[in-house]
Structure formats: structure tokens, C-alpha cells
């Protein structure tokens, strides 16, 4: 920012008043004498600079176009939220590997899985639910929470 050195001339005018003269002060007029040509050009350029546009100050795009983009993105966000609510959470399917069927459940993030009756299979005893078909990664129904759609596999031991 350029700072100008200027001399300020203050004139004092006295106006008659009932009790005597009251001094008044006039603002000095701004004079352009002695300014360099470069300073004048820079001052003119600063006057022609459009006002700041907040978040859009460094973007070479019209405010109208940006407003349209924002409206479209908000509509898209609302559509995604509506889809998520309509979907009802995550799907938990059960592969009993030859046992009686267990119905698929829809659970929200962080909920526990509740199974009223464990599956049955002739000649085998139900050993619990697992995350893999080989029954090596156990799933604890009382502690483990749903974080994504998944399939749980029944583990069996021979009688």
C-alpha cells in the first residue's frame, strides 16, 4: 500500500454567534500535485478492482454459476441421504452351510445382531457364527457390532 506525504492546510473560519464566534474546521482538499505517474496508475487500478467475493475471490467463475453448482450439490446430498434412509442400513446374511435357514437382517451401523434360534443340522452341533466359510474368525453376537454389509457363516462340529 502506498502512503502519500501530504501537507495539510487547515483554515479556521469564525462565524458570528450570539455569545461570540465559534471556530469551524474545514477538511483540506486532496491535491494530486507531486505524485508520480506510477502511483497514479496504481491508485486508479485499485479503484477499478472489484470488491472481494468471499470464498469466490480467487476463482475465475461467475457467482451465478457457483450458486447453481452449490444448489446441485445440496440436491445431490439430499438424494444420497434419502437413499441411505430408504436402504435401511447394512444387510447381514447368514450362510448355514447345510443347516436350517436364518433370515437376512438389516442393521444400522453399530447395532448388535440378534438371532432368536440357532440353526440346526443333522449329525452336527452348532458351534457359532464366523466371518469366513472355514470357521476360523469367530463373530461374538454379544459384543461385535455391524460396521458393513456382511455374510456370517455357521460353524459346525460333528456329534
The answer for residues whose C-beta is within 8 angstroms of residue 105's C-beta and 6 or more apart is 91, 92, 113, 114
The residue from 37, 65, 87 where one domain ends is: 87
- d(CA 11, CA 117) in angstroms, rounded, equals 100
Do 94 and 83 lie in a common domain?
A: no
Report if residue 40 sits inside a domain: no
Do both 104 and 151 map to the same domain? yes
What pLDDT does residue 59 have? 65
The pLDDT confidence band at residue 102, using thresholds 50, 70 and 90, is: very high
pLDDT digits (tens, 9 = 90+) for 121-143: 999 999 999 999 999 999 999 99
pLDDT > 70? residue 23: no
* Residue 33, domain member (yes or no): no
Residues 124 and 153 placed together within one structural domain of the fold: yes
- pLDDT, tens digit, for every residue of 38-89? 676 777 666 665 555 566 666 677 878 888 999 999 999 999 888 877 777 8
**Residue-range definition of the domain harbouring residue 76:** 52-87
Amino acid at each position: 500500500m502506498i502512503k502519500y506525504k501530504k501537507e495539510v492546510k487547515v483554515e479556521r473560519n469564525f462565524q458570528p454567534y450570539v455569545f461570540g464566534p465559534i471556530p469551524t474546521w474545514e477538511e483540506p482538499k486532496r491535491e494530486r500535485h507531486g505524485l508520480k505517474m506510477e502511483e497514479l496508475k496504481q491508485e486508479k487500478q485499485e479503484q477499478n478492482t472489484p470488491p472481494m467475493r468471499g470464498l469466490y475471490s480467487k476463482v475465475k467463475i461467475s457467482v451465478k454459476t457457483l450458486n447453481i453448482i452449490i444448489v446441485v450439490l445440496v440436491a445431490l446430498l439430499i438424494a444420497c441421504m434419502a437413499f441411505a434412509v430408504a436402504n435401511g442400513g447394512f444387510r447381514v446374511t447368514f450362510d448355514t452351510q447345510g443347516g436350517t435357514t436364518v433370515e437376512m437382517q438389516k442393521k444400522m451401523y453399530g447395532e448388535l445382531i440378534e438371532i432368536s434360534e440357532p440353526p440346526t443340522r443333522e449329525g452336527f452341533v452348532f458351534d457359532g457364527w464366523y466371518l469366513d466359510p472355514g470357521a476360523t474368525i469367530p463373530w461374538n453376537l454379544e459384543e461385535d457390532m455391524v460396521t458393513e454389509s456382511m455374510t456370517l457363516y455357521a460353524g459346525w462340529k460333528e456329534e
